[in-house]
Amino acid sequence: MSFIETGHAQNAAKFKVIIVKVTALGATYNPSKVAIKLLGLNTVSTNADASILAVDNALTPWQNAINAREIAFLPLSARTTRIINALKATDASAQTIKDAIFLEKKIHGTRITPKTPAVNPPEPNAPVNISASQMQFDSRIENFGKLLILLGAEPLYVPNEDDLKLAGAPGLTAYLATLVSTNTDAVATAETLLQARKTRNIVLYKDGSGLFDIQRAVRKYIRSLSSQRALSRELAKIIFTRPLKKDRPS
């Protein structure tokens, strides 16, 4: 989302300033619109604080999960290359080695087939290039799993190095499980963060009912009070920001 994270908290803080100022008016502040009565304003403020806190609480678990996944995947390419070299050092068939190398390239993210040259302007019905990098985490896990199946079916693959063996704590099967678990955690925490951000954006920026539009309605009401021109000028100096329209909830 193309909006500085701190902007949300700043908006919530400025909204509280507006509440303080209109509360000080006492009985003079008496709008007919329910949403901008003091009870409504305080409810919006409370909900805004809660939604921002939910995002903050989701950020650290997500970052930790992303870091753990990055650490887990870091040695994958090098370890796969060692596996291929160990397989080549056996009397396994040329086809088995060829199949293993094919999977190695996909795990490394090497393009298997040449990319169709781009044409500018594009020709009608020209083939669309779909990214074949295979560097997406799910794809790398899938192809590494296929490689382990291939190795398990090859009786001549019996390395002496513990981290290249299929079984055992430092072995390949255990490593695959680590890749799967760290990726699952990263996906789950990312979804939690995504939902928290969606909720926050609804509370703060939904058209008509969000904090941003509510504070604008308050300003309009204050401008309608002939005795509050000074306050209206004060409120005009409190600047709120919001995400680009394409990033806001409708």
Look up tokens 């409120």; give the residue.
Answer: 235
- Give the SS3 label for residue 185: helix
Per-residue pLDDT band at 2 (split at 50, 70, 90): very low
- Give the SS3 label for residue 75: coil
Among 169, 189, 209, where does a domain finish? 189
The 10s digit of each residue's pLDDT in 166-215 is 998 899 999 999 999 999 999 999 999 999 999 999 999 999 999 999 99
The answer to whether 151 touches 166, Cβ cutoff 8 Å, is yes
Per-residue pLDDT band at 132 (split at 50, 70, 90): very low
This prediction's pTM: 0.80
- Give the SS3 label for residue 243: coil
Number of domains making up the chain: 2
- In-domain check, residue 120: no
Distance from C-alpha of 176 to C-alpha of 166, rounded to nearest angstrom? 10
Q: Containing domain of residue 39, as a range?
A: 6-72+200-247
The answer to whether 111 touches 133, Cβ cutoff 8 Å, is yes
- 178 and 224 share one domain: no
Contacting residues for 2 by C-beta, under 8 A, at least 6 apart: 243, 244, 247
- 99 and 137 share one domain: yes
